[in-house]
């Protein structure tokens, strides 16, 4: 809507003075965490607190060589901060393109400004797809607003001159000018203006799993540490130095140090890589949610197709009254505030025309009505929209054939009556059919074929005719594109659930039905990604497990999405899926190695308490395991491409990998600590034998994480395991160990072999039990639903 100087806009100087007085709008929340937040999240963790307390205890007794672990912790923390700051910089560099802006009347001219530059009494221009940036009052024009972010009600609300607008609501249709009445903290919905970004609650399996581990170890560490200390000091009367070092080693082993950091670094690297490909990931853990997606919901227009619609031809159906058809359309478009792709295509074809009078009523297009209309005094009403919404009109067979070819057909129809936006259209006379085309996007077929190979079901959710949507989907190579349903004929929740289970293409879908379809897919046990570009997609975007917006679409859709495709090209979605899978698959691999030490340290501490034995390791020995067998290979493995489908939940998979190794180490420790003499070991050789056995079983866990082998993984395994054993022998005095004798090496080899054999048997048993449990919990497929009429 063009605003004139008479609309009463401010001057630039007046706006500057109002901002200086604190009457400016509050800036939107940052799209990324601040530098301070990133530093705090990496430094102020429960793991770091435990590590600092343990380090302080070691320092008090002068165990300086055992403090090496704190330097590694500090280095890991710095690496994590640097990587996430790098990702933040990449995201912020491209997020400027999606930052919310508003058109403001300043010095008599419309200016496109960031929303934080709004001040009290500014006059703003709003149109379809915009989010209201501040509480305002309509000066002229008419809107339909979606206030679901404020009220939870998704039905559009009409607003005319004099009506109040609340920040956070979204313009569904129409245009208006409005004067800002409240800014900043005075806004009715300051906290809600960006609630669309909070879409659905973000479910991060990696994050929730690590929180469970943190809570569990945090619960065990204080009592176990206290028992180890008291038992050694009072029952065995050991020197304070030995008591502190052995107790500290037991507690350090329980902490999966570096794993949370590694998850964050891996996600940050993925986000930065996607940013270079012009994909904006608005939250680190959104990348993880992509990995779990097995249903992808796509729109037709602008996603499968290029989104550049054009009018192919006009088919006259009846002689229009009063004016020529081109004059009717020219007058209609001259006064229409619609700005979607269809209206742009119509404007390119029909020149706007002044017929000497303004309409007395304008009803903008909305996805609920699927038509727009305009009433001119003394002439009647022209409506343009979906053929099935034009009462009393029937499409000729030739036009049905156009729909079968994937073209979009609109009807322009006439009635002498006035129409109302909340009522169905009266019987109308079809004046002409408008045939529009939108070419299928290059690369769409390859992208859909990729998702089919990867087990991701693609569903097309379109507001267009189901026949048109199905034809376009078939052109794009979508499997089962002929399985379509007209959602305007689906009325009950049960019918919608049946449709979700049976069909691939959904036509004439309302915004509420898009959301309910996403919910139905989730109820079937699927993880759902939703792509969209318009206001009508916001409800579904907020409900989906992963929401993806096209940058060319509405501002509100971009704000609602977790991921924004800056080039509006859905063919980059496989890259997103691969990055998400890389993170989750690699974290599942390496977490199994980290958790081996956490589990055996906990079990070994309990065993030592029950047997009244000192914990058999000291902190520097645990640090060597952390460095060679966990941290170094895990860090480089986390960057290796791994696009395999995800199998099973993260924490159960990791525990199933690590439990057999931890149990084998506990068994070997019990044999050596209680029966080392019977095996011919001298008393001072038991600790070094046990340490070598622990290294061997941990190395076998590392080897499992490297399968299937490739040159990089072979290199990592050989250098990590070889480096550990060489360091254990060459630097035995630094590790507080005697030099192993030949008989000690022989016993260590024998016990290691037995422990690894026991691990393999335990792993096979666990896999067998997991397979039986999976068979038991698998539900048989539901019988096919009765088909809906495909006519």
Contact 776, 722 (CB under 8 A): no
DSSP reduced 3-state for 182: coil
Per-residue CA distances from 508 to 296, 297, 370, 453, 490 (Å): 18, 15, 9, 29, 10
Beta strands in 283-367 (DSSP E): 295-298, 310-316, 361-363
Catalytic residue among 135, 294, 299, 533: 299
DSSP reduced 3-state for 676: coil
Interatomic CA distance for residues 344 and 364, integer angstroms: 14
Query: How many CB atoms within 10 Å of residue 125?
Result: 20
Instruction: Establish whether 112 is a catalytic residue.
Output: no
Q: Which residues contact 196 (CB under 8 A, 6 or more apart)?
A: 131, 149, 170, 538, 542, 556, 559, 560
DSSP reduced 3-state for 551: coil
The reply to whether omega before 393 is within 30° of 0 (cis) is no
* Cα–Cα nearest to 636, from 704, 717, 577: 717
Helix axes 511-523, 493-502, angle to 10 degrees: 70
The number of CA neighbours under 13 Å toward the Cβ of 714 is 3
Query: How many CB atoms within 10 Å of residue 277?
Result: 14
Interatomic CA distance for residues 14 and 118, integer angstroms: 12
Interatomic CA distance for residues 703 and 686, integer angstroms: 26
Q: What is the dihedral of CA 564, 569, 570, 573, to 10 degrees?
A: -70
Helix (H) or strand (E) holding 461: strand 457-461
Interatomic CA distance for residues 150 and 631, integer angstroms: 47
Query: How many CB atoms within 10 Å of residue 191?
Result: 12
**Exposure of 72 by Cβ count < 10 A (0-12 exposed, 13-18 middle, 19+ buried)?**
middle
Q: Looking at residue 233, what DSSP letter applies?
A: I
Interatomic CA distance for residues 417 and 238, integer angstroms: 100
Distance of CA 718 to the CA centre of its chain: 36
Tokens linked to 106:
């300043």
Residues designated as active site: 299
């Amino acid at each position: 809507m063009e605003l004139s100087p008479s609309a009463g806009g401010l001057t630039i100087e007046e706006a500057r003075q109002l901002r200086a007085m604190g009457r400016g709008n509050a800036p939107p929340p940052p799209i990324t965490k601040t530098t301070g937040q990133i530093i705090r999240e990496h430094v102020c963790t429960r793991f770091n607190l435990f590590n600092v307390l343990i380090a302080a205890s070691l320092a008090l007794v002068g165990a300086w060589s055992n403090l090496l672990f704190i330097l590694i912790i500090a280095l890991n923390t710095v690496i994590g901060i640097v990587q996430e700051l790098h990702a933040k910089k990449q995201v912020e560099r491209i997020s400027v393109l999606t930052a919310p802006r508003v058109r403001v009347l300043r010095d008599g001219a419309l200016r496109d400004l960031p929303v934080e530059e709004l001040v009290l009494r500014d006059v703003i221009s709003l149109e379809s797809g915009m989010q209201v940036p501040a509480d305002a009052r309509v000066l002229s024009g008419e809107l339909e607003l979606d206030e679901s972010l404020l009220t939870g009600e998704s039905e559009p609300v009409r607003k005319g001159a004099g009506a109040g607008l609340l920040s956070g609501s979204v313009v569904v249709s129409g245009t208006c000018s409005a004067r800002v009445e409240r800014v900043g903290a005075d806004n009715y919905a300051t906290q809600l203006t960006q609630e669309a970004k909070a879409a659905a609650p973000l479910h991060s399996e990696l994050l929730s799993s690590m929180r469970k581990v943190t809570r569990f170890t945090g619960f065990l560490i204080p009592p176990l540490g206290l028992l180890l200390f008291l038992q050694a000091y009072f029952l065995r009367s050991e020197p304070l130095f030995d008591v502190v070092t052995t107790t500290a080693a037991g507690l350090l082993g329980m902490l999966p140090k570096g794993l949370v950091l590694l998850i964050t670094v891996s996600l940050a690297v993925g986000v930065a890589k996607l940013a270079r490909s012009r994909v904006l990931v608005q939250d680190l853990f959104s990348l993880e949610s992509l990995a779990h997606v097995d249903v992808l919901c796509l729109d037709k227009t602008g996603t499968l197709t290029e989104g550049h619609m054009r009018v192919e031809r006009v088919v006259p159906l009846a002689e229009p009254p009063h004016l020529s058809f081109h004059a009717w359309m020219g007058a209609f478009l001259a006064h229409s505030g619609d700005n979607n792709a269809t209206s742009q295509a119509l404007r390119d074809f029909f020149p706007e025309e002044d017929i000497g009078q303004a309409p007395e009523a304008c009803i903008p297009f909305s996805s609920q009505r699927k038509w727009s209309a305009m009433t001119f005094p003394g002439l009647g009403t022209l409506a343009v929209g979906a053929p099935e919404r034009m009462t009393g009109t029937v499409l000729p067979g030739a036009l049905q054939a156009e729909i079968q070819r994937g073209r979009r057909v609109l009807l322009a129809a006439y009635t002498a009556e006035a129409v109302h936006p909340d009522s169905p259209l009266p019987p109308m006379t079809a004046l002409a059919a408008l045939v529009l085309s939108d070419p299928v996007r290059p690369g769409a077929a390859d992208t859909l074929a990729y998702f089919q190979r990867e087990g991701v079901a693609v569903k097309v959710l379109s507001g267009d005719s189901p026949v048109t949507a199905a034809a376009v989907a078939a052109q794009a190579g979508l499997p089962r594109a002929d399985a379509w349903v007209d959602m305007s004929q689906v009325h009950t929740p049960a019918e919608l659930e049946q449709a979700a289970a049976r069909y691939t293409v959904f036509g004439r879908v309302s915004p509420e039905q898009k959301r309910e379809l996403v919910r139905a897919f989730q109820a079937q046990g699927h993880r759902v990604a939703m792509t969209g570009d318009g206001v009508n997609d916001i409800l579904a975007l907020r409900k989906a497990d992963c929401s993806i917006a096209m940058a060319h679409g509405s501002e509100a859709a971009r704000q609602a999405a977790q991921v924004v495709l800056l080039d509006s090209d859905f063919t980059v979605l496989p890259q997103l899926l691969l990055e998400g899978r890389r993170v989750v698959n690699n974290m599942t691999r390496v977490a199994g190695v980290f958790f081996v030490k956490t589990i055996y340290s906990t079990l070994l501490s309990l065993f030592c308490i029950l047997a009244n034995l000192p914990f058999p390791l000291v902190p520097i020995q645990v640090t060597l395991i952390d460095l060679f067998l966990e941290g170094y290979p895990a860090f480089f493995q986390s960057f290796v491409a791994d696009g395999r489908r995800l199998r099973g939940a993260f924490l159960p998979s990791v525990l199933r990998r690590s439990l057999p190794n931890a149990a084998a180490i506990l068994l070997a420790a019990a044999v050596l600590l209680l029966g080392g003499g019977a095996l011919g070991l001298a008393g001072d050789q038991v600790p070094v034998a046990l340490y070598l056995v622990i290294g061997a079983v941990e190395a076998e866990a590392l080897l499992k994480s490297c399968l299937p082998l490739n040159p990089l993984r072979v290199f990592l395994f050989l250098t990590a395991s070889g480096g550990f054993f060489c360091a254990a022998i060459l630097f035995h005095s630094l590790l507080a160990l005697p030099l192993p004798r030949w008989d000690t090496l022989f016993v260590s080899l024998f016990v290691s072999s037995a422990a690894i054999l026991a691990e393999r048997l335990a792993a096979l048993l666990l896999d067998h039990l997991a397979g039986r449990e999976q068979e038991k919990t698998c539900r048989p497929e539901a019988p096919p639903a009765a088909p809906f009429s495909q006519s």
